[in-house]
C-alpha cells in the first residue's frame, strides 16, 4: 500500500515536471498571434469574470451575459452546474464572438462535487495525505465530467480564530500540515497534465491572511508583522506556488492597511518576484469594488490599483470592464499592464487545452457515468471515518453494540441537507442519508433505533434562521418543553443515548462568525435533561470550528467530534459508532476552554513570564481560566491504545549540510486494529528572533494490528530548522534544538541536539 502511494507520488511529481515543460515556445507563439488580433476591449474582456448564478436555474440564458460573451467581454463564468447549460454558453463564446476565444468555467468545488468529502477542516484531522489527494482527484473527475475546469480550492488560510466561520474551509492552525495538504490537493486537482479531460486548475485562496480577522468577524481587518506572515501564515500559499497551482485568489482583508486585491507588495513582490508564481490572480467576489468601502477611492481608482498590483481577473465587480479603457487613456494604467493580465488568462486556457477543444470538459456521457459513483462514495465514506476525533470515551461507551434500543436525539439526527457541510455548491442532498436512516440501516434487525429531535438548534428563532440558510432550514414550531419531553421519554425507554448536536452546517462557513463557541442553549438544556435519565450518552458534536465544551467534558462520558463529513457522513458515523472502524482523527485546531483564550494555538512564543501552572501572580496567566486548552493540537483517541517507547536521536550534533534521525517505536497495546498519527515537533531553543515553544515538523499516519509495533523514523535536516529572520531571510541558526515526539503536541518525549 505504502509502496503504491510512493509510486503514485513519484509519478505525479515526474509528470508535473513534464507538464511544466509544456511547449512554452509554442504556447507563446500561439498567444502572441492571438493577442495580435485582439482589440483593447477584447483584452479587457478576458479579465472579466461575471457570476452566472442567475443562469443555472433558467432554461434560457441571461441576455446580458450572453450579449457580453458575444461582444468578447467575458473571460469566464463560475458556479453554474451541468454540461448542458455550460455548453450553451461555451458555444456562444466559440461560435458567436469575433475571435472565438473559449470561456473558462470555475466553481467552488471545495470538498468534493456531488460526492462530497468532509469539510476541509475535517479533512485535515485525518492527516492522511494520500486520501486527501485522492479526494481532490475524485472531485476533479466529477467536476470535469460536468463541465468545470477550474476550482476555487484549496483554501489554505491558517486560522487560530474559531469565532471565524471560515475556519471550517481551511486546514486548521498549523503551517507545516497546511502546506502538506495544499500540495496534496493541488496534485489531486491538477494531476500530471492540466489538459487531461479529468484534471482541473486549482486556485489557492485567499491570498492572504484571511484567517486572521480581528475579533473573528468575517472580512474584518488583519494586522500582522511580516515575520509572522512569513513564518506562520504564508507557508501554505508558498507551498501552492511550489506545487504548480495555476491560479491564486485574493482575499477580502487589508494587509499593511492596503486591501490584498490592490496590494502590489503582496501580489507582485511576494507572490511573483519572490516565490516565482507564473499563473493568474483572480479577485474574490467583488473584491475590487469593495475597495471603495475600504476607502481606497472610486471604482476607476481601485480597478487601476488592482491591475497595477498584479491582479489579473475581476470577479463580478465590473471594475476592469467598466473603467480600464478610461484609465489607459488617462495614463493610470499601461497597455503593458493590460497585456500581462490578458496573457496570463489566455495561458491558463491554453494549458487547460481549451484552445484545442473548447468542449473538452463537456462530454454528457461522462457526466452520466462518472459522478457520485459507488467507488467515489466508498472513498468519501472511508475518508470521513478518518476525520472524526474521539475527544473522550469514559467507560468505553463507544463503540456501541448492535443490540437493544438506541435513542437517537438532537437537531442534527434527522437532517439530510446539513450533512455535506458548508460550501458544497454541487451537492445533491436529496441523495444523501440522514443519520437516522443510516443508523437504522447499520443495525438492521439486531437493534431498535428510536428518534426524537428533542430541541431546535437554539431558542432564538432569528439566530437559527440565519444559521440554516440555502435550504438547510429545520425549525420545529413545537414548544421546547414538548420536544424535550418526547426525547426524554424515548431516552428512558432505551439502553443508550446518541445525541447528534452542535451547529447546523451554515453556522460555519462564509459570514458565519460567532462570538460564543459553546453548544447552543436549547441543546445544552436537552443534554442536561438527558443526563438526568442516568443512561450512557454519546455526544456526536457536529461543528465547523473548535467548540468550547467544558460542561460537556465534565458531564457527558463520550464525545466524538464529527464536523461535517460530506455526502456519506451518516454511514461513516455509523461505521465508527458501531466499531467497524476505530476513530483516528487528530485535532488540527486547539480546543479552547473559553472564548476569552482565543487566539489559542500550540505553536506560540514564550513570554518573559511563562507560567506552566495556574495560578501564579505576576506571570502570564488568567485569573479565571488556566492557559492550557481543553484539548491540545494533535489530540485524538482511538478504541485501541498506543504506547510510545523510548525515542532516540541518531546523534546529538548535526552539521548544516547533514541530517540526523529521530526514532520511536509505537505499539498497539489494545485489542483492536487502529490508526495512529505519530507527530514530530521541534523547538529552536535560542534564536536571533523569539522562536515558538514547538513547531510541527513531521508526522506519519500508521495502522497497527493489536500487539503490532512499528519503528517510526523522522529525518531532521537543516531545511526543517529554517525560519524567516528579522530581515525575512530564510535561515537556520546554529545552537540547541529540542526534538519532541508523541501522539499530540502535549504528551511528548523530548531529546536535544546541537546544530553546529
Ligand atoms: C468566497 C470565495 C469563493 C467566491 C466564489 C466568495 O464569496 O469568499 O471563497 O470562491 O465567493 O464563489
Q: Whose CA is nearest to atom 12 of ligand 1?
A: 108
Q: How many CB atoms lie within 10 A of CB 375?
A: 10
In order of 517, 565, 581, the CA distances from 5 in angstroms are 39, 24, 22
Atom of ligand 1 nearest to the CA of 107: 12
The pLDDT tens digits of the residues spanning 134-169 come to: 999 999 999 999 999 999 999 999 999 999 999 999
Q: How far apart are CA 713 and CA 396, in angstroms?
A: 32
The four Cα atoms 601, 606, 610, 611 give a dihedral, to 10 degrees, of 30
The pLDDT tens digits of the residues spanning 381-405 come to: 999 999 999 999 999 999 999 999 9
Kindly state the percentage of the chain with pLDDT values over 90. 94
In order of 215, 481, 630, the CA distances from 597 in angstroms are 12, 34, 11
**Cβ neighbours of residue 478 under 8 Å, at least 6 residues apart?**
none
Output the ligand 1 site: residues, CB below 6 A: 79, 108, 152, 205, 284-285, 510
Element (H, E) at 205: strand 203-207
Q: Which residue has the higher pLDDT, 715 or 55?
A: 715
The pLDDT tens digits of the residues spanning 239-284 come to: 999 999 999 999 999 999 999 999 999 999 999 999 999 999 999 9
Query: What is the mean predicted confidence (pLDDT) over 595-601?
Result: 98
pLDDT at residue 574, as a whole number: 99
Cell numbers for 428: 445533491
pLDDT at residue 491, as a whole number: 98
Backbone angles phi, psi at 539, to 5 degrees: -95, 120
Q: Whose CA is nearest to atom 2 of ligand 1?
A: 284
Atom of ligand 1 nearest to the CA of 155: 9
Q: Is 674 helix (H, G, I), strand (E, B) or coil?
A: strand
Burial 730-741 (b: 16+ CB within 10 A, else e): eebbeeebbbbb
Q: How far apart are CA 658 and CA 71, in angstroms?
A: 60
DSSP 8-class letter at 112: B
- CA 249 to ligand 1 centroid distance, Å: 9
Chain-centroid distance, C-alpha 50 = 25
pLDDT at residue 21, as a whole number: 57
Query: What is the mean predicted confidence (pLDDT) over 733-753?
Result: 98
The pLDDT tens digits of the residues spanning 37-52 come to: 999 999 999 999 998 8
The pLDDT tens digits of the residues spanning 174-226 come to: 999 999 999 999 999 999 999 999 999 999 999 999 999 999 999 999 999 99
Q: Is 193 helix (H, G, I), strand (E, B) or coil?
A: coil
Atom of ligand 1 nearest to the CA of 79: 12
* CB 377 within 8 Å of CB 416: no
Query: What is the mean predicted confidence (pLDDT) over 309-315?
Result: 97
Backbone angles phi, psi at 235, to 5 degrees: -50, -45
Question: Position of cell 474551509?
Answer: 169
**Cβ neighbours of residue 445 under 8 Å, at least 6 residues apart?**
none
In order of 290, 306, 620, 675, the CA distances from 300 in angstroms are 12, 10, 49, 56
Q: How far apart are CA 631 and CA 290, in angstroms?
A: 38
pLDDT at residue 470, as a whole number: 87
pLDDT at residue 57, as a whole number: 28
Residue 218 a catalytic site member:
no
Cell numbers for 448: 431498535
**Cβ neighbours of residue 169 under 8 Å, at least 6 residues apart?**
110, 119, 120, 121, 155, 157, 422, 423, 509, 510
Question: How is the chain split among helix, strand and coil, in percent rounded to 5?
Answer: 35, 20, 45
- Active-site residue, from 284, 314, 337, 363: 284
pLDDT at residue 6, as a whole number: 47
Q: How far apart are CA 448 and CA 595, in angstroms?
A: 39
Q: Whose CA is nearest to atom 10 of ligand 1?
A: 152
Q: How far apart are CA 16 and CA 187, in angstroms?
A: 8
CA max distance for the chain? 79
Element (H, E) at 682: strand 674-684
The pLDDT tens digits of the residues spanning 531-573 come to: 999 999 999 999 999 999 999 999 999 999 999 999 999 999 9
pLDDT at residue 51, as a whole number: 87
Amino acid at each position: 500500500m505504502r509502496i503504491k502511494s510512493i509510486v503514485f507520488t513519484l509519478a505525479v511529481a515526474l509528470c508535473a515536471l513534464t507538464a511544466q515543460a509544456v511547449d512554452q515556445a509554442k504556447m507563446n507563439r500561439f498567444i502572441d498571434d492571438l493577442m495580435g488580433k485582439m482589440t483593447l476591449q477584447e483584452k479587457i474582456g478576458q479579465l472579466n469574470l461575471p457570476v452566472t448564478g442567475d443562469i443555472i436555474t433558467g432554461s434560457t440564458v441571461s441576455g446580458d451575459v450572453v450579449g457580453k460573451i458575444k461582444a468578447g467581454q467575458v473571460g469566464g463564468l463560475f458556479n453554474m452546474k451541468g454540461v448542458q447549460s455550460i455548453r450553451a454558453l461555451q458555444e456562444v463564446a466559440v461560435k458567436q464572438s469575433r475571435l472565438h476565444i473559449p470561456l473558462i468555467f470555475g466553481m467552488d468545488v471545495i470538498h468534493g462535487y456531488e460526492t462530497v468529502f468532509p469539510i476541509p477542516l475535517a479533512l485535515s484531522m485525518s492527516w492522511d495525505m494520500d486520501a486527501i489527494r485522492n479526494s481532490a482527484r475524485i472531485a476533479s473527475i466529477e467536476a470535469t465530467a460536468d463541465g468545470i475546469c477550474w476550482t476555487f480550492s484549496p483554501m489554505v488560510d491558517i486560522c487560530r480564530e474559531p469565532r471565524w466561520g471560515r475556519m471550517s474551509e481551511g486546514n486548521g492552525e498549523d503551517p507545516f500540515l497546511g502546506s502538506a495538504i495544499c500540495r496534496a490537493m493541488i496534485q489531486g486537482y491538477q494531476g500530471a497534465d492540466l489538459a487531461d479531460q479529468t484534471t482541473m486548475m486549482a486556485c489557492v485562496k485567499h491570498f492572504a491572511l484571511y484567517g486572521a480577522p480581528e475579533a473573528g468577524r468575517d472580512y474584518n481587518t488583519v494586522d500582522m508583522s511580516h515575520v509572522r506572515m512569513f513564518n506562520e501564515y504564508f507557508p501554505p500559499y508558498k507551498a501552492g506556488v511550489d506545487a504548480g497551482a495555476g491560479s491564486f485568489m485574493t482575499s477580502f482583508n487589508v494587509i499593511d492597511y492596503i486591501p490584498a486585491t490592490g496590494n502590489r507588495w503582496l501580489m507582485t513582490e511576494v507572490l511573483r518576484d519572490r516565490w516565482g508564481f507564473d499563473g493568474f490572480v483572480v479577485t474574490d467576489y467583488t473584491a475590487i469594488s469593495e475597495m471603495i468601502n475600504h476607502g481606497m477611492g472610486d471604482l476607476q481608482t481601485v480597478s487601476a490599483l488592482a491591475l497595477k498590483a498584479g491582479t489579473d481577473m475581476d470577479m463580478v465587480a465590473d471594475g476592469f470592464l467598466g473603467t480600464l479603457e478610461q484609465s489607459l487613456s488617462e495614463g493610470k494604467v499601461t497597455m503593458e499592464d493590460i497585456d500581462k493580465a490578458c496573457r496570463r488568462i489566455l495561458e491558463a486556457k491554453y494549458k487547460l487545452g481549451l484552445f484545442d477543444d473548447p468542449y473538452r470538459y463537456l462530454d454528457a456521457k461522462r457526466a452520466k457515468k462518472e459522478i457520485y459513483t459507488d467507488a467515489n462514495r466508498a472513498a468519501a465514506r472511508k475518508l470521513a471515518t478518518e476525520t472524526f476525533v474521539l475527544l473522550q470515551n469514559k467507560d468505553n461507551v463507544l463503540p456501541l453494540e448492535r443490540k437493544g434500543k438506541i435513542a437517537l436525539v438532537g437537531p442534527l439526527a434527522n437532517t439530510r441537507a446539513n450533512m455535506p457541510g458548508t460550501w458544497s455548491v454541487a451537492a445533491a442532498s436529496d441523495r444523501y442519508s440522514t443519520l437516522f436512516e443510516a443508523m437504522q440501516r447499520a443495525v438492521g434487525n439486531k437493534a431498535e433505533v428510536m428518534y426524537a429531535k428533542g430541541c431546535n438548534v437554539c431558542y432564538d428563532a432569528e439566530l437559527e434562521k440565519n444559521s440554516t440558510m440555502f435550504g438547510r432550514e429545520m425549525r420545529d414550531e413545537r414548544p421546547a418543553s414538548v420536544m424535550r419531553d418526547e426525547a426524554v421519554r424515548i431516552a428512558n425507554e432505551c439502553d443508550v443515548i446518541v445525541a447528534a448536536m452542535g451547529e447546523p452546517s451554515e453556522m460555519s462557513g462564509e459570514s458565519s462568525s460567532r462570538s460564543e463557541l459553546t453548544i447552543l442553549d436549547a441543546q445544552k438544556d436537552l443534554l442536561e435533561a438527558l443526563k438526568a435519565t442516568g443512561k450512557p450518552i454519546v455526544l456526536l458534536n457536529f461543528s465547523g470550528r473548535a467548540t468550547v465544551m467544558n460542561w460537556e467534558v465534565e458531564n457527558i462520558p463520550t464525545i466524538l467530534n464529527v464536523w461535517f463529513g460530506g455526502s456519506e457522513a451518516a454511514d461513516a458515523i455509523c461505521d465508527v459508532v458501531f466499531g467497524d472502524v476505530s476513530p483516528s482523527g487528530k485535532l488540527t485546531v486547539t480546543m479552547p476552554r473559553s472564548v476569552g483564550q482565543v487566539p489559542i494555538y500550540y505553536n506560540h512564543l514564550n513570554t518573559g513570564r511563562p507560567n506552566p501552572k495556574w495560578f501564579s501572580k505576576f506571570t502570564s496567566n488568567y485569573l479565571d481560566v488556566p492557559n492550557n486548552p481543553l484539548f491540545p493540537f494533535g489530540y485524538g483517541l482511538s478504541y485501541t491504545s498506543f504506547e510510545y517507547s523510548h525515542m532516540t536521536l541518531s546523534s546529538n550534533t548535526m552539521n548544516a549540510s547533514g541530517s540526523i534521525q529521530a526514532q520511536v517505536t509505537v505499539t498497539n497495546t489494545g485489542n483492536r486494529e487502529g490508526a495512529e498519527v505519530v507527530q514530530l515537533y521541534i523547538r529552536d531553543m535560542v534564536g536571533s528572533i523569539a522562536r515558538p515553544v514547538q513547531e510541527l515538523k513531521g508526522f506519519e499516519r500508521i495502522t497497527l494490528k493489536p500487539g503490532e509495533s512499528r519503528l517510526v523514523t523522522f529525518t531532521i535536516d537543516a531545511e526543517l530548522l529554517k525560519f524567516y529572520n528579522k530581515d525575512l531571510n530564510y535561515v537556520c541558526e546554529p545552537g540547541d534544538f529540542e526534538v519532541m515526539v508523541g501522539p499530540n503536541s502535549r504528551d511528548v518525549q523530548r531529546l536535544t541536539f546541537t546544530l553546529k
